[in-house]
Amino acid sequence: MSPTILDSRKLLAFATLARVGSFTQAAKELSLTQSAVSHAIKALERDLG
């Protein structure tokens, strides 16, 4: 099993989402679309298994 290199943008999206509890609010704080935050979280889930 090879080590996973985590993207800091994905981790920032996760941390912001966990803090605010809303994809919409996380997107606003990160100046992203809700879809971009959702994709970042999905990619992080995929990366971590």
Number of domains in the chain: 1
Whether 44 is in a domain gets the answer yes
Q: What is the rounded distance in angstroms from the CA atom of residue 22 to the CA atom of residue 28? A: 10
Between 3 and 20, where is the model more confident? 20
Token pair recorded at residue 25: 């609010």
Q: How confident is the model at residue 1 (pLDDT cuts 50, 70, 90)?
A: very low
Q: Please check whether residue 1 lies inside any domain of the structure.
A: no
Average pLDDT over residues 25-47: 98
Range of the domain at 12: 8-48
Angle at which helices 8-20 and 23-30 cross, to 10°: 130
Tell me if 14 is assigned to some domain. Answer: yes
